[in-house]
Chain A
Amino acid sequence: MIELAHFQVLGAALFAIGLYGVLARRNAVLILMSIELMLSAVNINLIGYAAFVDFTEAQRALGQVLIIFVITIAAAELALAIAIILRLYRNRSTVNADEINLMKF
């Protein structure tokens, strides 16, 4: 029997993995992919709550609506992030996050 806990733990695990990816990877595009993973983790959590918790129908519907929004925003953010990376690549011919370090002391 699937329980809410399954979804929650899965969401947590995916989030943690995504976080590791953000911290450890140096290619900017890979970092972006990891961010997508983290957002997906949020979606998993949301759908778990929407399905299992004792909600009214309207509230369950809200859960799904929220997921729609998350996906939307994720897509928008992705587009902009790619644009930035491309611009950065054009100017500095690198996507190595370590070499993009001008915002420092």
Chain B
Amino acid sequence: MASLVFFYIAAALVLGGAITVVMTRNIVYAAFGLLASLMGVAALFLLTFAEFLALVQVLIYGGAVVIVIIFALMLTRMDDFRQISDHKGWPMGAVAALAVFGLMVAAIVRTSVNTGPREGVSFTVMGESLFRDWAVPFEIASLVLLIALIGAVVMVRRSDPDDDGSPN
């Protein structure tokens, strides 16, 4: 019972944050909305006894992703009074989103899975699984991170002496 209430609160946080991201005119509000949404997801992780994941979520998303996004927002600010309004064709986008949502709900309703009470996995078991059974994908994932890092650095650095990093 309590878990249900907890779930709804977490859900509200997630969805509320999400709606803020997609609807607000103020980009900083959008960034904070994202943060809130992601924290809600962390709460959901806790609900399912995945504590480590909640930790990772908070650390990485809250600590790194949102920060980087805010940096990006700051660095790409055009003159202060110009706001980028939403696309003119947003109703069609809404319809598309709703269609996809409907599709997924229909899929959910129609499929049946064997369910049991919620159960988590202990941290050690997960660690073992990650580093033993799925070691190779893990290494590859770290490789992907490395490439992304290098790629980002290459892309952003100034390539010729005239280029001082400012527009025009």
Contacts and interface: CB of A to CB of B under 8 A. Distances in A.
29 contacts: A2-B3, A6-B11, A8-B108, A13-B15, A13-B101, A17-B18, A17-B19, A24-B86, A24-B87, A25-B22, A27-B84, A29-B73, A29-B76, A30-B27, A30-B30, A33-B21, A34-B22, A36-B38, A40-B38, A40-B61, A43-B57, A47-B53, A69-B141, A74-B65, A75-B60, A75-B145, A82-B68, A83-B151, A89-B75
Nearest to A4: B115
Contacts, number: 254
Contacts of A23: 87, 90, 92-93, 96-97
Contacts of A103: none
A54 B116 contact: yes
Given A2-B7, A20-B93, A65 B76 contact: no
Interface in B147-168: 147-149, 151-153, 155-156, 165-168
Interface residues of B, number: 89
Nearest to A74: B65
Given A75-B64, A93-B78, A14 B22 contact: no
Nearest to B129: A61
Interface string A61-83: 11011011101111111111011
Given A40-B38, A54-B116, 6 more contacts: A12-B105, A16-B100, A33-B34, A60-B119, A75-B148, A89-B167
A98 B84 CA distance: 10
Contacts of A6: 7, 11
